[in-house]
Structure 1
Amino acid sequence: MSISKNISRRKFCHTSGLAGLAMTIPLVSSGCASLESKKRTFKTLEEKTYNPRLIANEDGFTFLYHSGDDLGANDLKTYLSRWKDTNVDMVAYCVAFGGFVTFYQSSIADPIGTGYKTSEKIEQNRWLRNRERLVREAGDYIGLVFSFLKEMGIAPVASFRMNDIHLSEDPAGPLAGSFWKKNPQWRIGSSYYLDYAVPEVRDYLRQLINEVIHKFPDVAGIELDGMRTPVLFENGKGQELAPLLTELIRQIRTDLDAASLAQGKPRYVLRVNVPRSPELALKCGMDVATWDAEKLVDSISPGCYGTDFQIPIERWKAFLSQRTLVHAYFNSGRISSQYHSLEEYRGAAANAYATGADGVYLFNLPCFDEMAALLLRPIDQPTFPPPQFNAQCWHPDLSRSQQALYELDDPNNIQRKNKKFLFYTDQMHELHYAPEQADIQRENPQPTDLHFRCYEDYSRVKEIRIEIKTVSVSIFDQFSFSLNNQPIPSSCVKRLHAPGGRDRRIHATVLEPYSQYIIQLTSQKKLMQPDENLLTVTLVKQDPDVLGKIELREMELFVNYC
């Protein structure tokens, strides 16, 4: 049964019960000694397959490419053991990407590293060497992955990245694959993207899916990763050509059902990652309403490449049947090149569950291991488990972030725990990032509204504060703030200023000279609404010698219970 059938938004906000967690690593203290977690209810593999609550995505190449040299079957098992005894129900493991290359021994596409036994790049050598060692020891890298995951009681799903263009970094290299290289006429214009309006492109993906289903007996289903990347058709033609993609999914569903019948197996699941809103998905050619009406897919994960703390889950749930589950899609970070803290994962999940999500989908979590691979270590130290990357550079303590694997499967697990919410962070392309942009034009300065969601029970909160940056300002620019149309007292506002801005020596996201405003709302909790909120920023005094616009960026909401 889905979350939306059990817990309403308001009931979610005011529920205080806690469900339990079972784990093999020490619990990280939340700072609230009275809120110790308990063991969660056991779920069968069948329940995890058909009603997953927490899904994790593995990109396939973190192990082969980033982790180290000369890795074998025992290394792979240790690497995958991160998921064991966590609350992760399903792992969507990438088996094909680029244009297309595979991580398994394929008779259709190029296995990764094909034709690149020697290379000037150390990490490129690993693709082939590590994969070939796994072939010698166990027959196939991906086959061994699925076997190990199933042995751990986790549902393994084969994930296909529909238009991943990592190959753009080296179009003549091993990520491109012969299918992409030999058929430039099947790309979208002069871009790197394959064009799904071309029958041969759609058929190629279908062939690969059929190959995986018949090759790997342990796989529980297929994932179409439409978020890597949601450019499937020529710009502006997605909605018009959506029936082509629907027909492909219809064919894949037929193939999966035929395979399960022939093999005497339960129904294979079919899930799809899609852009954040129904309208945007359709614009990209993904007609989810038809997929649902025809019972083609079992679940979707809407979101954007940077984690969206305001995914409109309620709009998906309004028209989808209860049989199609909706898992909120979270990346490993929102601000460019800055990974999530545990509190940020909690905040994103809390908002998703409050708007009806059936669960959470975690993308790019193995990036934490990529960070660990940047650390020096003794050369004879085992590759796994990797060293902990603890609060270095501008990143949070990633060892704490991984506790999300024990909390995010159930909204009760994150009740009355400290949270952080991120809004208005990146001003990027709409297909990949939340459409949150706010600025003030100096030539005609008007109050600017920033909309944000939060569904916490403020009566139990010990501290609430907002931090927000005004970018491209001098010390002579002054601002006032109101919350839900009520002025915030100036005594609650503190201003800090960075006259040099922010450059790549201290953070990957560059900012012009900016001020950061710290707005303490603990004494003004009555201003907050347990739903939609509105922060209004007004330029009350302007530097007369500066032109252009002022950006409002990186709004952070801290809700602390202890």
Structure 2
Amino acid sequence: MSIEVKRQGQKVPYKCLYNHELLILFTTQTPYQRYDDNVTDEQVIGYVKELQGTQVDALMCCPQAWRTNLWYSEIDRRWQDEAPLEREPLPEANWNYNDKAYFRARRYMLQHKDPIALSLKTAREIGIDFFIAYRMNDHHYVKNTQAQTHGSFWRNHPEYWLEPSGAAFNYLVPEVRDYYFSLLKELAENYDIDGMELDFMRSPRYFPDNQIADGIPIMNEFVARIRLMLDDIGESRGKKLSLSVRVPHRPEEAVKIGLDVESWDQEGLIDMVNVSSYFRTSLEIGIEDYKRRISNARIYGELHFITNIGSSRSSLGYANNINRKTTREIYETAALQYWRRGVDGISFFNFAYTRDHGFHEPRRKEFPGKEPSFDILNTICELSHLERQPQHYFIGTGYGTFPADQEKTFDMYIVPEGRFSSGMLRVETDTDTARLPLIANFNGVKLQEKVETGELFAPFSLECLPPQERVRYFELPTELVKSGDNVVHLTNNDPYKKATFVGVEVALYR
């Protein structure tokens, strides 16, 4: 099917995007809602109003609880036809995490509530725009085909699943694309949105691995179809509806899963490209790569509430949602770096998930939830503020630099605004390094090792901090630091004992 696109991409002004997954209403304790009580409208309103006065100017509302849609849809009639007939299994104490979240949502939805409409109304009241951010292939619990959060379309059509069985939907199937399109069209028609985000990162697999080339033109047509739909609805309302896409951290990684973002931009299909490192804040996202290829859409650098999934887990053996949390210094340093590298805006994903979302899980007692640091959002777009702060650069595993065995040379992009009193470089490995002759060079100069302990800055929580036996500290003279790429060279000079480098941090103190 050929689709004629009526418009070319236009610039949109947003500086700070904030992803708000409605699932969080039912999984967290907040100042508005405790686990002891059923969820009320106060929770829905509170989660939006807490952004009032910040620099967030677009709320990216995800209307899903994993694979459950949180509106009274005529495409997916769960709340009308299925949920009223369900019974909560007893005893409640035996519920798994999925059940706890689902039945908490069900109690709220069966009161004929509309959390999307209430979130939209509240966003309007505090003066921020409202997007629908839909997860295009959510993977949660797909291995458990009987999970409560799966709808009838999923259960009734296993022939639409990607292999191995249960690995989300196959977009080569026209019925799958029609299903998602119908849901997005219904959302755009039912709610007075300002735009829509196609969240291709939840989860980033759409075609069989051996049919990616076949999938690219199909996905191109699918995105064009959504663009045309938004144009038609926007024209009927006398407003422009923007289209954002949340995509992998580099253009070539997007192409590998069938997403030709460059073509979408050239054809004027998209207004915003949200460059995502999926689930963790990473300075290794390809801002420059996207800037070279994207000429119409605005580019956003994404930040997450997690910095790393560390090697030190709970002493009780519990690993679910135990991660190293992003600190104020890392948020502000990453934001400043992104601005200097040329982004048009910043985006936040899962910012509020620092709260308790463990349903009183006893094994989480040593890691209680904490309230998010919302004041970070007050100045995250204010360069004059960011330039005055201490800086904390972090590079972990998974995006290109690490892990690395025995020796590694890499660039670290630094924005050394103003004067700093001192600097420190910390190296993390996957093993005890106490007796290893580790050497760190910075811009060709060998650094002097220092005997230190603890974190470079106060951590947000104690979750997944690296064990002291796996980190080493090196004094970093500030005069060595230059603006832009700095060359870091790490070596383990022990020819007999292997060390795998898994992280490097640079702290610059005021």
TM band (smaller chain): 0.7 to 0.9
Q: 1:258 aligns with which of 225, 228, 232?
A: 232
The residue that corresponds to 2:7 in the other structure is none
The residue that corresponds to 1:195 in the other structure is 170
Q: Please give the alpha-carbon distance, in whole angstroms, between the structure 1 residues aligned to 2:146 and 2:358.
A: 29
The residue that corresponds to 2:400 in the other structure is 435
The residue that corresponds to 1:7 in the other structure is none
Read off the aligned partner of 1:518 and give its amino acid letter: Y
Q: 1:242 aligns with which of 184, 206, 216?
A: 216
Q: Please give the alpha-carbon distance, in whole angstroms, between the structure 1 residues aligned to 2:210 and 2:51.
A: 40
Structure 1 pair 401–224 and aligned structure 2 pair: CA distance change class (3 A): same
- Is residue 2:66 matched to residue 1:103? no
CA contact (8 A) 1:88 1:409 kept: no
The residue that corresponds to 1:35 in the other structure is none
Query: Which consecutive unaligned segments of at least 5 residues does structure 2 have?
Result: 1-10, 30-34, 310-322, 455-461
Q: Please give the alpha-carbon distance, in whole angstroms, between the structure 2 residues aligned to 1:231 and 1:449.
A: 32
Q: Please give the alpha-carbon distance, in whole angstroms, between the structure 1 residues aligned to 2:361 and 2:333.
A: 29
Read off the aligned partner of 1:249 and give its amino acid letter: V
Give a deviation string over 1:64-114, Cα, whole Å, max 9, x none.
33343322223422332111111110111111464x531111111154783
Read off the aligned partner of 1:140 and give its amino acid letter: D
Q: Please give the alpha-carbon distance, in whole angstroms, between the structure 2 residues aligned to 1:220 and 1:125.
A: 31
Q: Please give the alpha-carbon distance, in whole angstroms, between the structure 1 residues aligned to 2:77 and 2:504.
A: 44
Q: 1:540 aligns with which of 486, 493, 496?
A: 493
Read off the aligned partner of 1:553 and give its amino acid letter: V
Structure 1 pair 296–97 and aligned structure 2 pair: CA distance change class (3 A): farther
- Is residue 2:13 matched to residue 1:51? yes
Shift of 1:162: 0.9
CA contact (8 A) 2:28 2:358 kept: no
The residue that corresponds to 1:179 in the other structure is 153
The residue that corresponds to 2:439 in the other structure is 480
Structure 1 pair 372–463 and aligned structure 2 pair: CA distance change class (3 A): farther
The residue that corresponds to 1:330 in the other structure is 303
Give a deviation string over 1:392-430, Cα, whole Å, max 9, x none.
9579x9557332211222333311212212102x3xxxx
- Is residue 2:185 matched to residue 1:210? yes
Read off the aligned partner of 1:266 and give its amino acid letter: K
SS, match of residue 130 in structure 2: strand
More displaced, 233-242 or 302-311?
Answer: 233-242
SS, match of residue 468 in structure 1: strand
- Is residue 2:415 matched to residue 1:455? yes
SS, match of residue 119 in structure 2: helix
CA contact (8 A) 2:354 2:372 kept: no
The residue that corresponds to 2:472 in the other structure is 517
Q: TM-score, normalised by structure 1?
A: 0.76
Structure 1 pair 125–438 and aligned structure 2 pair: CA distance change class (3 A): closer
Task: State percent identity of aligned pairs.
Answer: 21
Q: Please give the alpha-carbon distance, in whole angstroms, between the structure 1 residues aligned to 2:383 and 2:211.
A: 39
Q: 2:40 aligns with which of 72, 79, 87?
A: 72
- Is residue 2:328 matched to residue 1:342? yes
Structure 1 pair 247–400 and aligned structure 2 pair: CA distance change class (3 A): closer
The residue that corresponds to 1:126 in the other structure is 104
Q: Please give the alpha-carbon distance, in whole angstroms, between the structure 2 residues aligned to 1:558 and 1:398.
A: 24
Shift of 1:240: 4.1
Read off the aligned partner of 2:142 and give its amino acid letter: S
CA contact (8 A) 2:300 2:343 kept: yes
CA contact (8 A) 1:66 1:123 kept: no
SS, match of residue 141 in structure 2: helix
CA contact (8 A) 1:467 1:519 kept: yes
Q: 1:61 aligns with which of 10, 16, 23?
A: 23
The residue that corresponds to 1:313 in the other structure is 287
Q: 2:387 aligns with which of 415, 418, 432?
A: 415
SS, match of residue 129 in structure 1: helix
Structure 1 pair 341–455 and aligned structure 2 pair: CA distance change class (3 A): same
CA contact (8 A) 2:421 2:478 kept: no
Q: Please give the alpha-carbon distance, in whole angstroms, between the structure 2 residues aligned to 1:410 and 1:130.
A: 39
CA contact (8 A) 1:60 1:94 kept: yes
Structure 1 pair 372–473 and aligned structure 2 pair: CA distance change class (3 A): closer
SS, match of residue 307 in structure 2: coil
CA contact (8 A) 2:355 2:372 kept: no
Shift of 1:372: 9.2
Shift of 1:344: 0.9
Q: Please give the alpha-carbon distance, in whole angstroms, between the structure 1 residues aligned to 2:480 and 2:134.
A: 46
Read off the aligned partner of 2:375 and give its amino acid letter: Q
Q: 2:244 aligns with which of 264, 271, 274?
A: 271
Shift of 1:239: 4.3
CA contact (8 A) 2:428 2:466 kept: no
CA contact (8 A) 2:356 2:370 kept: no
CA contact (8 A) 2:426 2:471 kept: yes
Shift of 1:166: 1.3
Shift of 1:116: 4.0
SS, match of residue 166 in structure 1: coil
The residue that corresponds to 2:54 in the other structure is 86
Q: Please give the alpha-carbon distance, in whole angstroms, between the structure 1 residues aligned to 2:154 and 2:289.
A: 37
Q: Please give the alpha-carbon distance, in whole angstroms, between the structure 2 residues aligned to 1:452 and 1:412.
A: 23
CA contact (8 A) 1:451 1:533 kept: yes
Q: Please give the alpha-carbon distance, in whole angstroms, between the structure 2 residues aligned to 1:196 and 1:95.
A: 21
SS, match of residue 330 in structure 1: strand
Read off the aligned partner of 1:289 and give its amino acid letter: E
Structure 1 pair 496–237 and aligned structure 2 pair: CA distance change class (3 A): farther
Give a deviation string over 1:209-263, Cα, whole Å, max 9, x none.
110111113x21211101111111122533442111110110111111111222x
Aligned residues: 460
Read off the aligned partner of 2:140 and give its amino acid letter: H
The residue that corresponds to 2:338 in the other structure is 352
- Is residue 2:137 matched to residue 1:163? yes
Q: Please give the alpha-carbon distance, in whole angstroms, between the structure 2 residues aligned to 1:131 and 1:331.
A: 29
Structure 1 pair 169–464 and aligned structure 2 pair: CA distance change class (3 A): farther
SS, match of residue 356 in structure 2: helix
Q: 1:370 aligns with which of 356, 360, 365?
A: 356
Shift of 1:360: 0.7
Shift of 1:440: 2.6
Q: TM-score, normalised by structure 2?
A: 0.83
Structure 1 pair 116–520 and aligned structure 2 pair: CA distance change class (3 A): farther
SS, match of residue 429 in structure 2: strand
Q: Please give the alpha-carbon distance, in whole angstroms, between the structure 2 residues aligned to 1:110 and 1:452.
A: 50
Give a deviation string over 1:488-524, Cα, whole Å, max 9, x none.
2x3x433669xxxxxxxx754887x943111121xx2
Give a deviation string over 1:285-336, Cα, whole Å, max 9, x none.
1111111111111101112121111322112112212x41111012211212
CA contact (8 A) 1:101 1:110 kept: no
Structure 1 pair 508–474 and aligned structure 2 pair: CA distance change class (3 A): closer
Q: Please give the alpha-carbon distance, in whole angstroms, between the structure 2 residues aligned to 1:399 and 1:212.
A: 31
Read off the aligned partner of 1:493 and give its amino acid letter: K
The residue that corresponds to 1:21 in the other structure is none
The residue that corresponds to 1:39 in the other structure is none
Shift of 1:371: 5.1
